[in-house]
Amino acid sequence: MSARLAFFVVFILGDLARLAPFLRACSLGFLKNYRWFILYLLAGVFQSFARLFGDRDTLGYAYWWIRTSPLVIAFSIAATCELWILVMQGYAGVRRIYSWLVPAFLGLAAALSLASAADLFLVSWRPTIFRILTLTVRYGASIEAGVCSLLFLWTLFFPEQISRNVRRHAAILSLNYIVISLSYFAIGMRNGRNGIIGYALNILASCLYLAWAMLITRGGETLPAPTRFDDDEIHRAKRDFEDLNAAS
pLDDT per position as a tens digit, 7-55: 556 667 777 888 999 999 999 999 999 999 999 999 998 988 887 777 6
Position with higher pLDDT, 93 vs 86: 86
Domain extent for 172: 2-247
**pLDDT > 90: percent of the chain:** 39
- pLDDT band, very low/low/confident/very high, at 196 (cuts 50, 70, 90): confident
Q: Higher-confidence residue: 7 or 116?
A: 116
Q: What is d(CA 79, CA 29) in angstroms, rounded to the nearest whole number?
A: 18
Residue 60 has pLDDT above 70, yes or no: yes
* Mean pLDDT of all residues in 173-196: 80
Mean pLDDT of the chain: 82
pLDDT band at 229 (very low <50, low <70, confident <90, very high): very low
Predicted pLDDT at 140: 92
Number of domains in the chain: 1
